[in-house]
Chains A and B, each alone.
Chain A
Amino acid sequence: MITKEVISPPGAPNETFVINLGPQHPATHGVLRVKIVMDGEYVVRAEPICGYIHRMQEKMGENRTYAQFLPNTSRIDYLSAMTYTHGFVGAVERAAKLQVPPRAEYIRVITSEMNRISSHLVWWGAFLLDLGGFTPLLYAFDDREKILDLLEAITGSRLTYSYYRIGGLYNDVDDDFIKGTREFIAQMRPRLKMYRSLVTDNIILRKRLIEIGPISKEMCRKYGATGPVIRGSGIPYDVRKVEPYSAYPEFDFLVPTCEEGDSMARYLVRMEEMVQSLRIIEQALDKLPSGPVMAEKVPRVLKLPAGDYCYAVEAARGRFAVRIVSDNKEIPYRVKLRTPSLSNLSLFEEASAGMLLPDALALMGSLDLVIPDIDR
């Protein structure tokens, strides 16, 4: 990577200018605004400005019942709606001490992992779009379409599922879903190999990603980065392993990490995560127990005992944690949503200093930001 110190000739005039990247800009995928102080093509300081799609999700949690807030959780990070709902229902179940039937937990794992794959596919296509390659996006959406069709058949929606209920699931999966998912796994494996040979091994892509935008372990810890960002820096932090939840302890899967910490490392971690997710889905389908998908005796009017409850899940972008403070009423006293994208974005200012503008945008793409997830 070329940084400012290497290039700038001695005695060059020290003039900077400001460009306003966003809220409408092709690289920010939404309404993120980044105020960049530039010296020529070099980024001196990039300051992300959030809040353009702030929807007061946390405040909404404080003035409606748990069941009423449930659909909101799909709309925080619309690309991994399943895992976000999982975080919320998990927190409520933990507080209410509800025992979720094993079949429901297995189906939660299956659908969450499918959702992770579809989320990573969107990231992959959009990231390549950032780098100027248009075609992979359409291939990614072709695969994602199959996941969306499968999930639509059981949940009724294609993006904001709200499939999990407090104590279980909205409905059971049928044999068509299981058969379709197995077919999807069989199709997806050769596709991932094809993406590797067509895109990942492309010399232009490698030159644009290797050693670009390094993020150190210290920087990850300092800003609380999680998910593929921290794993790309060599720290094997995955909520599914370090704070096992749901049925994850019963499956055999690896947490892919890369020591390099550059954009390529984050890219490779996500690509490998899709392979691991396929493994988890396959194991879950093999071991899928029979039985009910809803816990018995879920109270119609749910009042959580007074206290402070937290539940974390590994969403596609990192650790998503829900903290509920209850004062034994129908409506929670406080709902705190810890979303991964905000922490991942916050290291952008430090990591991008001194980089060329296209490299900084490649770094931003490799963080996989979802703007509603930042602003909530």
Chain B
Amino acid sequence: MTEAITNLVKLLATEPYRLLVFLVGMMAFVGLNAAYLVWVERKGAARFQRRPGPTEVGYAGLLQPIADAVKLMSKQLIVPAGVDRTLFRVAPLLMMSPALMSLAVIPWGENLAARNINVGLLMIFSFASINVMAIMLGGWASRNKYAIISAARVVSQNVAYEIPMLLVAITMIMVTGTMNLNEIVQQQAGAFWHWNLFRVWINPLMPVTFLIFYTCMLAETNRAPFDMAEAESELVAGAYTEYSGMGFGVFFMAEYANILLGCALATVLFLGGWQSPFGILSGVIWFLLKMYFLVFSVVWIRWTFPRTQFYGLLNLSWKILIPVSLLTLILSSAMIKLFHHA
């Protein structure tokens, strides 16, 4: 019996079953996370606003996400007259799938990754740009004026934010010398001062680099204070205005999947991935702790700040983030050339 289980585990560890197992696991992980991050967001918002939040469905409202999902699924999928039906239906999927694909290369633990490929970072960044297209398509296909304004906003916003984010990524590639996420994490072994965030002897501006990455991550995922694309007091619901039922539900899930991805990537690049801050007992638990801490900070920011103005956001990107990230890039390349040249 145990032999059969061992054989099964061995079989599942071989390709292509390994990928299949991981994708199913990832879907479940992302689905549950999206559902329960909504609960966390609602509870967190309630605590910031001195109210109890969801309490009716289940203990402390814990079954609320399930009730929400049932409600969303039972709604009629309305496709308004005059929309481009194909694009209208494809857009939510196009938003969800890149996030799922990218999560396949995230190293959750030492041997816990669907694909340990050498260009993992490149893959994540190439897939991350697709969700911009998805929102744009959704807004375009909706034939709604608010949705089209939102689509135009999201494109210029993401063009502005991709650049500093990629500059930060190049800095990280130079510092670590690899695009393999697993190796990046292994380089940060030891205690917390080995994390890239604190490696100021390679680049004195490392914490600033992290802040730039974090800001760009917020802008990439269209989260407050950069949620111009769905600014509900201006554009009703932006690109999602015409979506109902699960069409909206998938967009909503994808938003949380993208937040998870962004926070997971920040954990890998800056916070030492699965490495423990004390140098012992490293494991997947540390990865999750760090990632959920970042997710919580994203929720915190959303319920604290008002929304930025659109040109304020572009000014921030072009006048502050891009010059500063260029500076960190040049500084770290000079430091590597001068002091760490192998």
Contact = CB atoms under 8 A, between A and B. Distances in A.
A205 B306 contact: yes
A26 B236 contact: yes
A63 B130 CA distance: 65
Given A139-B50, A357-B149, A131 B306 contact: yes
A196 to B, nearest CB: 15
Interface in B202-253: 224-225, 227, 231-234, 236
A371 to B, nearest CB: 16
Nearest to A136: B306
**Central interface residue in B145, B233, B309, B312, by most chain A CB within 10 Å:** B233
Interface in A5-26: 17, 19, 25-26
Contacts of B45: 134-135
Given A138-B51, A361-B234, A131 B307 contact: yes
Contacts of A359: 309
Contacts of B305: 133, 202, 204
Nearest to B144: A19
B49 interface: yes
**Interface extent on B, as a size class?**
20 to 34
Contacts of A133: 304-307
A129 B224 CA distance: 13
Contacts of B186: none
B312 A208 contact: yes
**Interface extent on A, as a size class?**
20 to 34
Given A130-B233, A133-B306, A202-B306, A356 B50 contact: no
A356 B310 contact: yes
A41 interface: yes
A202 B305 CA distance: 8
Interface string B304-318: 111111111000000
A192 interface: no
Interface in B269-311: 303-311
Contacts of B224: 132
A17 B152 CA distance: 15
B125 interface: no
B48 interface: yes
A207 interface: yes
B146 interface: yes
Contact of A134 (B49, B50, B234): B49
Interface of B: 45, 48-51, 145-146, 149, 152-153, 224-225, 227, 231-234, 236, 303-312
Interface of A: 2, 17, 19, 25-27, 40-41, 128-135, 137-139, 142, 202, 204-205, 207-208, 356-359, 361
